[in-house]
Amino acid sequence: MPPHPETWLCVRPEGLWCRPGEFYIDPVRAVPRAVITHGHSDHARPGHGAVLGTSETLAIMRARMGEGRAGDSQQALGYGEALAVNGVTVSLAPAGHVLGSAQVVMEWQGSRAVVSGDYKRRADPTCTAFEPVVCDVFVTEATFALPVFRHPPVEDEIAKLLASLALFPERAHVVGVYALGKCQRLIALLRRAGWDRPIYIHGGLVALCGLYEALGVPLGPLLPVPLVKRGGPAILAGEIVLAPPSAEATPWARRLAEPVTCAASGWMRVRQRAKARGIELPMIISDHADWDELLDTCAEVQAPEVWVTHGREDALIHALSLRGVRGRALHLVGFSEDDEEAAPVEAA
């Protein structure tokens, strides 16, 4: 009988540890050997020894951390390719979260565990779609694991922004987005909705947009937000401006013409969340699975047991138990409920 994954995949202070393979997955501290699911800063941390990931994830890590800090050595693995690590067969499957994001599939002595990292099931023009892998233990996130979180069709949310631009052509529309993933996805969605005009981007988003383009994701014309003299006329009326969340609260935003503060996030589904952040136009666009998608995915992978890394594990485990699936909370620390902590951007 194959060994239960409990016996070879365990939680240590550094993170999730594959014992026979002697590597960690998305460790929160620097470790000798790490497999990284994707480039968000709470999953990809600096200072590891050997790092394994998709070539896109490795490129993102180098761009964000600098060559020296993105692992002493890097090894790229394409989706579907297998690698033997101390008798553990490791392969990566697309997770659909951001460019290069992967699920880590591990097989040891006939038992298979899948660590999905962060994932979504909706189509995203900027990354490869999630592929379910049948397994004995499925390790999932639970960011939006409450039945109140059901993401509406993205086209409807983009239409809200375009309708607002038509109604308020005298105002700049500033959308708060994370630098990696959400920013580029939003641009791609706007292009698909027919917005051909240049999109203006905050300095904090420029580098990763350039990297996406270099990795073959076309984003159309992007322009930096121009500098203006203090007291000069307000600019970018009727234009779309993308900026890190909370940039609208900083002096940076004062050059913009009566900005409409927009946000693109799954949290915008709950009104109090949007109100508390002073968002005038909330758009429910998420790079995470919603409630139905979490449950559907757990069913598709046919795992009799699901481990939950972070988020609302109580609700997900309860719902899985109603379906006869054993759930287990891993209580991993170090993962933020948003994709990344909003970095202070006052100086930008």
Partner 1 sequence: MSLPAFATLLERLLFTPGRLAKLALLRQWFASQPDPERGIGLAALTDELVLRVAKPALLREIVAARTDPELLRMSRDYVGDFAETAALIWPTRPGVNAPPPGLTEVVDAMEAAPKAELPALIADWMDRLDASGRIALAKLVTGGLRVGVSGRLARVALAEWSSVDVGEIEEVWHGVTPPYASLFAWLEGRAPRPDAAGQPVFRPLMLAHPLEANDLAALQHEAWRAEWKWDGIRVQVVAGPGGARLFSRGGEDVSGAFPEIVAGLGFNAVLDGELLVVRDGEVAPFGDLQQRLNRKTVTPKMLRESPAEVRLYDLLIEGEEDLRMLSFDARRARLEAFFAREAPARMALSPLIAFGSIAQLAAVRDGARAASIEGLMLKRGDSAYVAGRQKGLWWKWKRDPLSIDAVLMYAQRGSGKRSSFYSDYTFGVWRGEELVPVGKAYSGFTDAELVFLDRWVRNHTTARFGPVREVEKGLVLEVAFDAAQRSSRHRSGVALRFPRIARIRSDKPVEEADRLESVEALIAE
Q: Does 265 bind partner 1 (CB under 8 A)?
A: no
Closer residue to partner 1 in complex, CB, 50/249: 249
Q: Is 279 in the site for partner 1 (CB under 8 A)?
A: yes
CA distances from residue 156 to 41, 75, 178 in whole angstroms, order as listed = 30, 40, 20
DSSP string, 280-292: SEEE---SS--HH
d(CA 117, CA 101): 8
Strands 88-94 and 82-85: antiparallel
Structural tokens at position 116: 């999905």
# residues contacting partner 1 (CB under 8 A): 40
- Report angle CA 26, 98, 66 to the nearest 5 degrees: 60
Instruction: Please tell me whether residue 77 binds partner 1 under the rule CB under 8 A.
Output: no
Q: Could you give the angle at which helices 154-167 and 182-192 cross, rounded to 10 degrees?
A: 70
Q: Are 319 and 146 in contact (CB under 8 A)?
A: no
Q: Which stretch binds partner 1 (CB under 8 A): 62-70, 99-107, 198-206, 307-315?
A: 307-315
Smallest gap from residue 164 Cβ to partner 1 (A): 8
Residue 152 binds partner 1, judged by CB under 8 A: yes
What binding mask, one character per residue, do residues 215-254 give for partner 1 by CB under 8 A, x or -? Answer: ---------------------------------xxxxxxx
Q: Does 148 bind partner 1 (CB under 8 A)?
A: yes
Q: How far apart are CA 208 and CA 204, in angstroms?
A: 9
Among 68, 278, 304, 344, binds partner 1 (CB under 8 A): 278
Which residue in the set 9, 188, 274, 308 belongs to the binding site for partner 1 (CB under 8 A)? Answer: 274
User: Measured between alpha carbons, how far is 27 from 126 in angstroms, rounded to an integer?
Assistant: 26
Is residue 128 involved in binding partner 1 (CB under 8 A)? no
- Strand blocks (E) in 9-132: 9-12, 15-18, 23-25, 33-35, 50-53, 73-76, 82-85, 88-94, 102-108, 111-115
Residue 276 near partner 1 by CB under 8 A: yes
**51 or 298: CB nearest partner 1:** 298
Rank residues 8 and 252 by Cβ distance to partner 1 and give the closer one: 252
What track of x and - describes contact with partner 1 for positions 319 through 348 (by CB under 8 A)?
x--x-----------------------x--
Does 143 bind partner 1 (CB under 8 A)? Our answer is: no
Binding residue (CB under 8 A) for partner 1 from 282, 285, 290, 294: 282
Measured distance CA(172)–CA(247) in Å, rounded = 14
Residues of this chain that bind partner 1 (CB under 8 A): 146-150, 152, 160, 164, 167-168, 248-254, 258-261, 269-272, 274-276, 278-282, 312, 314-315, 318-319, 322, 346
